Structure 1
Amino acid sequence: MKKISFVLLIGITLFFIHCDKKKDPLDDFESNLLCSTLAICNGETPAKTGIIGDSWTDLLFGIPLVETLRPQLENRFGYKFAGATLGGKTLQQVVSQGLQFQVIDQGGADMKVVILSLGGNDIQANLNEYIGNIPGVQAQRFAQIKANLKQLIITGNAYKIARFGGAPLKWIIHGYDYPNPFMPPVIAGSDEGCKTKFDRVGLVVPNAAEFTASQLDAFNNLLVEITREEPTLIYVDLRNTLGGRPSSRAELMLDCIHANNLGYTLLTDKLARLIYPFTNIGF
């Protein structure tokens, strides 16, 4: 779920071109960037729904060259988020930085639900560590994801109740849809989740599509397991939206792990329907 530097540069340039010339575009950009990526805003921005996510929610610093889940929920379904979203973000980073507290501060007392799009980067980072011990490394990483996710929820709810009172938050986490490891990278070197990356680091697997699909299924199963231990966590299954196991359809993908605009439209439609009973927004 990494960001692509070249495309990002183009997006920032377009962003500046369309800014209000009466304002300093750099000031506006920095303010919007801090608010959307780290929930550091100019005061409280009340919202009923929070969001903390990786590049499936915001691939390019809020610049909609690829309309991921967050902008589509905002523009098509009327969501107003208090959020911290940025491509490349890991669950480990979110917990270490205390972003759950900043999102709660930003959203205020009326916030009831926080949507989470996290975990993929924790799984796919440092692929060379998997060499020779795929089951062991995966088990270790899944255990860390579970511990971090539970810490995020428990500390977030305790903070929300201590500061604003009322009921604990509901936390909605989605699993990802299947990668397509045979997609070419958009930019050379930006090949997370691609067979080319496996080959480059020396990770030899009998079948790249089966390997990535099995990891994805195991991650989704882990999320279901955590919901049994944390009653305020709600899991949403997005698998089989982009074509089904073992690989999502190439015509719906931007690269190995990200959908294109059409793909994200299908994913957002499904996500919006599944979370409506908890958010009461969009339909």
Structure 2
Amino acid sequence: MKTLKIFLAIGISFVLIHCDTKKDPLSDFEANLLCTSFAICNGETPAKTGIIGDSWTDLLFGYPFVETLRPQLENRFQYKFVGATLGGKTLQQVVSQGLQYQVIDQGGADMKVVILSLGGNDIQANLSEYIGNIDAVQAQRFATIKANLKQMIITGNAYKISRFGGPPLKWIIHGYDYPNPFMAPVISGSDEGCKTKFDRVGLVLSDPAAFTSTQLDSFNNLLVDITREEPNLIYVDLRNTLGGKPSSRAEFMLDCIHANNLGYTLLADKFARAIYPITNVGF
């Protein structure tokens, strides 16, 4: 977290240096950060597409450290988002904070779709709990993810219809591509999904790649199961974009679980094509 703050400070300095000194750049930066990362905006910001996501959509407070899915979709496929994207965000936090309501407020009556990039941090948190009890802990976490995801969609759509009328929103969620547990972390302390983290917490694995790829497959299967119960949820499979099972190729990876710029370019291409029939944006 300390290193994260350093990067944030660098990002703020970059903004201050390159902006119009007649304005209040710090206030502008804070307002943009609150709106894009925490869904706290001054009034509504109408858009047809919402987004709620973790570090696969915004790795570092909007700072262009890596062009993740959100900036890829905005810059290359003409998406205009309202939403809340922030590295480290969990599905549990989204539901607890009611971020779905805030994103709907921002999007307004014309918003039709919300893109979701969530669940990975819920699985990776407190890895030491898996020691000696992998199957049971994973089953419990998957059950919680399923309950939270369905609650977010059901309550979000009820709120949208109550406030703006019209049909329910479509919610698009992607599964992640395979991690590469043998990659080194780029930011100290951000080594979730890395063999180094498994070793440090005492989670002894004979084959870390088999563990992470099997867990990743199970998560994707869970999302497919949820779509059978929730008709307004649409799932996009991004597996095998960065090289395939059991581990994504190092040349496409920034660290254990995040792609680099080239990797996110490939992921965004696949994702944008998959969701075009729903969003009608980008091609």
TM-score under structure 1 normalisation? Answer: 0.97
- In structure 2, the gaps of 5 or more residues are none
1:8 aligns with 2:17: no
Q: Secondary structure at the match of 1:266?
A: helix
How many angstroms apart in 2 are the aligned matches of 1:217 and 1:63?
30
Q: Secondary structure at the match of 1:234?
A: strand
Q: Is the Cα–Cα contact under 8 Å of residues 4 and 190 in structure 1 kept in the other structure?
A: no
| 1:69-120 deviation digits (Å, cap 9, x = unpaired) | 0011001100000110000000000000000000000000000000000000
The aligned residue for residue 54 of structure 2 is 54
How many angstroms apart in 2 are the aligned matches of 1:207 and 1:6?
34
The aligned residue for residue 276 of structure 1 is 276
Q: How much has 1:40 moved relative to structure 2? A: 1.3
The aligned residue for residue 104 of structure 1 is 104
Q: How much has 1:7 moved relative to structure 2? A: 3.3
Q: Is the Cα–Cα contact under 8 Å of residues 38 and 102 in structure 1 kept in the other structure?
A: no
Q: How much has 1:5 moved relative to structure 2? A: 4.0
How many angstroms apart in 2 are the aligned matches of 1:211 and 1:49?
35
The aligned residue for residue 169 of structure 2 is 169
How many angstroms apart in 1 are the aligned matches of 2:157 and 2:151?
10
Number of matched pairs: 281
1:121 aligns with 2:124: no
How many angstroms apart in 1 are the aligned matches of 2:194 and 2:253?
12
The aligned residue for residue 228 of structure 1 is 228
Q: How much has 1:8 moved relative to structure 2? A: 3.4
Amino acid in the other structure paired with 1:225: D
- In structure 1, the gaps of 5 or more residues are none
Q: Secondary structure at the match of 2:199?
A: helix
Amino acid in the other structure paired with 1:52: I
Amino acid in the other structure paired with 1:157: N
The aligned residue for residue 42 of structure 1 is 42
Q: Secondary structure at the match of 2:11?
A: helix
How many angstroms apart in 2 are the aligned matches of 1:74 and 1:121?
24
Q: How much has 1:187 moved relative to structure 2? A: 2.7
How many angstroms apart in 2 are the aligned matches of 1:132 and 1:62?
38
1:87 aligns with 2:87: yes
| 1:170-217 deviation digits (Å, cap 9, x = unpaired) | 000000000000001113322111000000000011100010000100
The aligned residue for residue 202 of structure 1 is 202
Identity score, percent: 83
How many angstroms apart in 1 are the aligned matches of 2:222 and 2:4?
29
Amino acid in the other structure paired with 1:167: P
State the superposition RMSD in angstroms. 1.1
How many angstroms apart in 2 are the aligned matches of 1:180 and 1:146?
25
Q: Secondary structure at the match of 2:186?
A: coil
Q: How much has 1:16 moved relative to structure 2? A: 2.3
How many angstroms apart in 2 are the aligned matches of 1:12 and 1:195?
33
TM-score under structure 2 normalisation? Answer: 0.97
How many angstroms apart in 1 are the aligned matches of 2:35 and 2:99?
11
How many angstroms apart in 2 are the aligned matches of 1:153 and 1:80?
21
The aligned residue for residue 28 of structure 1 is 28
How many angstroms apart in 1 are the aligned matches of 2:185 and 2:179?
13
Amino acid in the other structure paired with 1:29: F
